Homo-oligomer: A and B are copies of this chain.
Amino acid sequence: MTHVPNPYKETTIIDIAKELNVSKSTVSRALKNHRSIGEATKKAVQDLAKKYNYHPNDIASSLSKRSTKTIGVIVPLLSHYYFSTVISGIEELAYKSGYKVIICQSAESYEREVIVSQTLLSSKVDGLLVSISRETKNYDHFKVFQEKNIPIIFFDRICPEIEASSVIINDYQGAFMAVEHLIKQGCRRIAHFAGPPLLLISQNRINGYKDALLAHNIPFDEELVIDCGPGLEQENGSQTAQQMLDAGLRPDAIFAFCDPIAIGAMVTLKKNKIKIPAEMAVVGFCNEPMDTVVEPPLSSLVQPAFQIGETAAAIFFQHIQDKTSPIEKRILSTELIVRESSLKKFKNFCNGNFESKKFCSNITQPVAHFKFFYQPCFLRLLFTIMVISPA
């Protein structure tokens, strides 16, 4: 009597085994092309699997292998270009290695971060890649992973308290370059629209900002470091800029924690008829696509999102391939993209080669090559500069 698979039930290796009068181990092996299985049975099994539209049950396999081939990812917000691009980078590598990716958002909430990390723990992810929420200051929910020997890699917004692998960019250097660039443009009172104070990246950027001033003998003015409050969106930048103006502050440049804030600030400045960059230059951070759309185009620092994702994933694979592989802290260098929003003097930029060293005099780390990333912007820039600020 032939075995008829129940149409309301998924076909399993047992169904195939019965039909072929072999054991389920044989089927299991045949299905994954195990070399110790005879060609004939192998083919028979595979054909029947196809015929019955068999799909392996990864859940069962995970349970028995004690590995889910899944990477958990926690980001603050998915709808930020930066984070979704990081995820693409992670996914790309994961995909190539046959890993799945479960993505969770903390929505910038500590509480939710704890909950989703617990979910991920229960889902038995093989590893965790995280960029922490801006509220997080207790890290116990991450320590659990380490106790269970689940590799955890932080990216961008890393965790200061935990000894774990991480991949970040050189925020200090980026901020330093941006501010030094502004100084070379002739700016002397440079405001910084700062990021969420708990985040290391915010602190590093402030430090880069301060040190660049210091390096150029410009006194640091506490008043010019302005907190943008909670939120990293355009409206926060707009509000902060308005508050600044209302307070009678008139810096000649703004270095913003991130691009949306910079763009929001630009909106306010334009509304107040302040000329950018002539009266106030602006530099952002992240080099988001929007930067080339706003007018004038926004100078910014590259955060190689895709590469950051890839790197984080690569470190994860390293850890699971070699359980003893040491913690790795990767620091990617950043790059300053100069666009019109911060370009007061035209002459500096005409001679083709830029001395990157000049831009980063007292940074020990290797310096990113200073170059024009987006060709067309240079052309447009020529044009616009000559028309708008003939200086």
Using a CB–CB distance below 8 Å, which chain A residues touch chain B? 10, 53, 55-60, 62-63, 68, 77-81, 84-85, 87-88, 91, 100-105, 118-119, 121-124, 144, 147-148, 234, 263, 267, 271, 289-290, 293-295, 380
Contacts and interface: CB of A to CB of B under 8 A. Distances in A.
Contacts of A62: 59
B91 A123 contact: no
A148 B81 contact: no
A147 B144 CA distance: 40
A63 B53 contact: no
Q: Which 4 A-B pairs have the closest CB atoms?
A: A79-B84, A58-B122, A78-B84, A295-B295
A119 B100 CA distance: 8
B234 A271 contact: no
Contacts of A78: 78, 84, 87-88, 91
25 contacts: A53-B144, A55-B118, A55-B144, A57-B63, A58-B124, A59-B62, A59-B124, A60-B63, A78-B78, A79-B81, A79-B85, A80-B84, A81-B81, A84-B84, A87-B103, A88-B105, A100-B102, A100-B123, A102-B102, A234-B289, A234-B293, A290-B290, A290-B293, A293-B294, A294-B294
A104 B294 CA distance: 31
A197 to B, nearest CB: 25
Given A81-B81, A91-B105, A100-B123, A147 B53 contact: yes
A58 B123 contact: yes
Given A59-B62, A63-B63, 13 more contacts: A53-B144, A55-B122, A57-B124, A58-B124, A59-B68, A59-B123, A77-B88, A101-B104, A102-B102, A234-B293, A263-B293, A290-B290, A293-B293
B87 A148 contact: no
A147 to B, nearest CB: 7
A258 to B, nearest CB: 14
Contacts of A63: 57, 59-60, 63
A128 to B, nearest CB: 13
A348 to B, nearest CB: 25
A77 B80 CA distance: 13
